[in-house]
Structure 1
């Protein structure tokens, strides 16, 4: 369970420099917010799940959402508070961040006290780019069914655990068919899709903390570094070496 949140009506626009492992405790805003880590990796947790983003992604946090931030690796966290909702989403999401949007976010958060027309023009282009930014399927939902939660806990503790759903089901006290249905029903994902999300989540954290690509590949359950690099590239658009 998340701790009792702070309530800050206005979502700040700011640059926060966080050490690896540091975070921002549970809180909520009456405004929407974009959270972007220009360096390091950022994780946002709510009662609905976990979202994680390297420097090619940002996390959308809708108004009223109770959430926590956690940094992995030295992280420059750029926060953009928005009274309006340019992307029309009422749930957290991971958004693609291209080179232009990256520079706009960095420029807009450099000096929040700046009220110049030039900065307002930056904001206008930033909002336009956010409207065009596609969502990315990088999330780990929270299970409500105890049997599904048990399987998720087993693999979260060891993402390299290669057991199939039938064997995991025996450990969790549930049939394979039941678990397969629960993954689709609760997460809108198949078990293999969820397991890939879990492994990528762990991989991003370990890479941000300085672990070698080969070590991360095997620790997170890939059969080879090349298999890991292929999945990473297809998901994030870059190889792990270029990302970190």
Structure 2
């Protein structure tokens, strides 16, 4: 049987935590402190959009993705939109089956349901029957096997280490709609196009334009979570028209922005559990 924990209220966050996992209801914009854990863990956003920041970069976790952070990786989380964050810690015997680096996986329907079960109310509500140790063990193995069958997703935005790339990243984080070419950005920081192209390839494993597209989709997920429509989001993230935005978004996320918003609303409704105590005020 899981060890029950009372909900804690900190800075507008409602948390239920137990040894093998937890559930946090965060208001939009809430961020955790820098932390690391002795065990690797999976995080899933049942509603809202979650960003997981490590020294390797940022993993974006929309409704159909699961983020993996290995043991001892320093990280922090940030919620975009009111976010229902689920956490599952893995024993070393299961963690070794997943990558040694932070990763994002596509969440199958089965993986999603197992995650919700492993972090649902029966883990912390004394009025509901909890899972036995053997049942939890079986569910965890099913979850890990589902993730092993899934491909890693391109929603991990790598963090540049080179000073020149960091300067470009800062500019585009602040102005994702900026359509300056790499040559124009290079003039601003005093670096040539060939040098910057080589740095993007060698350090981040992608071209500048691939990296900027991922950055823009990351911002799009945040805007959609905050209620912006497709046309507003496309303009704010630098696409000339909604159709090109929809194509780029669908290529990375696997669904259109409109279906993504609808799916998030459905997931948020389905994940609401009446036993959760919400912050007062």
Say yes or no: TM over 0.5.
yes
Which protein has the bigger strand share?
A: 1
User: Is 2:56 the counterpart of 1:39?
Assistant: no
Matched-pair contact (CA < 8 Å) for 1:11–1:29: no
User: 1:22: Cα distance to partner?
Assistant: 1.1
Q: What secondary structure sits across from 1:25 in the alignment?
A: coil
> Corresponding residue for 1:125?
142
Q: Which position in structure 1 is the counterpart of 2:230?
A: 213
- How does 1:71-90 map onto structure 2 within 5 Å? 71-84=79-92, 85=95, 87-90=97-100
Match among 188, 205, 208 for residue 191 of structure 1: 208
| DSSP 3-state at the match of 2:34 | strand
Q: What is the aligned partner in structure 2 of residue 4 from structure 1? A: none
DSSP 3-state at the match of 2:38: coil
- From 127, 152, 157, give the equivalent of 2:174: 157
Query: How far 1:121 moved relative to its partner?
Result: 3.0
TM-score, normalising length: structure 2 = 0.80
Counterpart in the other structure of 1:26: 34
- Indicate how the Cα distance of structure 1 residues 11 and 66 shifts in structure 2: closer, same or farther if over 3 A, else same: farther
Structure-1 separation of matches of 2:29 and 2:250 = 25
State the number of aligned residues.
235
What residue ranges of structure 1 are gaps of 5+ in the alignment? 1-9
Q: Bigger shift: 93-102 or 78-87?
A: 78-87
Q: Displacement, 1:86?
A: 5.2
Secondary structure, in 3 states, of the residue corresponding to 1:227? helix
Asked if 2 retains the 8 angstrom alpha-carbon contact of 1:166 and 1:176, the reply is yes
Larger radius of gyration, structure 1 or 2? 2
- Which residue does the alignment assign to 1:5? none
Secondary structure in structure 2 of the residue aligned to 1:17: strand
Report how far residue 88 of structure 1 moved.
Answer: 3.0
- TM-score, normalization by structure 1: 0.91
Say yes or no: does 1:108 pair with 2:125: no
Q: How does 1:58-73 map to 2 (within 5 A)?
A: 58-73=66-81
| Cα separation, 2, equivalents of 1:31 and 1:198 | 29
1:145 and 1:27 map into 2 onto residues whose CA distance is 24
CA contact (8 A) 2:108 2:146 kept: no
- CA RMSD of the aligned region, Å? 1.6
Q: How far is 1:226 from its partner?
A: 1.1
